[in-house]
Amino acid sequence: MTTPVVSIAYHSGYGHTAVLAEAVRAGALEAGAEVHMVKVDEITDEQWRTLDRSDAIVFGSPTYMGTASGAFHVFAEASSRRWSGQDWQDKLAAGFTNSGSKSGDKLHTLQFFQILAGQHGMHWVNLGLLPGWNSSEGSEHDLNRLGVFAGAAAQTNVDEGPDAVHKADIATAEHLGRRVTETARVLTRGRTAA
């Protein structure tokens, strides 16, 4: 059986998004992936080549001023070298983000990731979870407690450090890592059988 290669391309300004990246990594490893962490603000030529050979790339960034961070935007623009040759076509893509507010316009960041993936001809993997914490029997400890479908979304108070990232948001990011890996496994099996 082929081991899916999953890369997590992320930026973290204050460490909160790095916690989520590690959670995505843990979920992907648990599901049997070969996982690579790529800090987009420190990316090397070798890491670009790792992204090129990945079956899936999971994008991650904090949401600043209603979109992904400036450092992630620099990475996205630099990926245009891959876009011109459609080097990432038919890879899987997914995303995660964190902000201080419950909404914080996180959806816009995830949509930015989706459009980036679409321009590259990639296939988007959604969260695949019903919303949590939306009934009298729900709680803030539910998976997908913020009710986002496009990817993993987290909220951390602006006056607290990375150790305050909510445990339910960490578990949701782990779920995303597993889902991306399982989807990549199905896709690679299908390509092998074709």
SS3 86: coil
Burial class (CB in 10 A: 0-12, 13-18, 19+), 164: exposed
**Distance set, CA 101 to CA 55, 63, 73, 85, 105 (Å):** 33, 10, 21, 38, 8
pLDDT value for 187 = 92
Q: Which amino acid is at 37?
A: M
Judged by phi (left if over 0) then psi (alpha if -120 to 50, else beta), residue 15 lies in left
Closest CA to 8 of 113, 94, 120: 94
Q: What percent of the chain has pLDDT over 70?
A: 99
Strand partners, 61: 97
- pTM for the model: 0.97
Half-sphere exposure of 120 (CA within 13 A, CB side): 28
Distance of CA 168 to the CA centre of its chain: 16
Mean pLDDT for all residues in the chain: 96
pLDDT value for 1 = 66
- Kindly report the backbone phi and psi dihedral angles of residue 34, in degrees, each rounded to the nearest multiple of 5, phi listed first: -90, 120
Length of the chain counted residue by residue: 194
Q: Which amino acid is at 2?
A: T
Burial class (CB in 10 A: 0-12, 13-18, 19+), 69: buried
| Cα distance between the two ends of the chain | 15
Residue listed under structure tokens 């991650």? 60
Residue listed under structure tokens 């979304």? 153
Q: Which residues of the chain have pLDDT under 50?
A: none
pLDDT value for 16 = 98
The structure tokens listed for 168 are 């339910």
DSSP 143: T
pLDDT value for 85 = 94
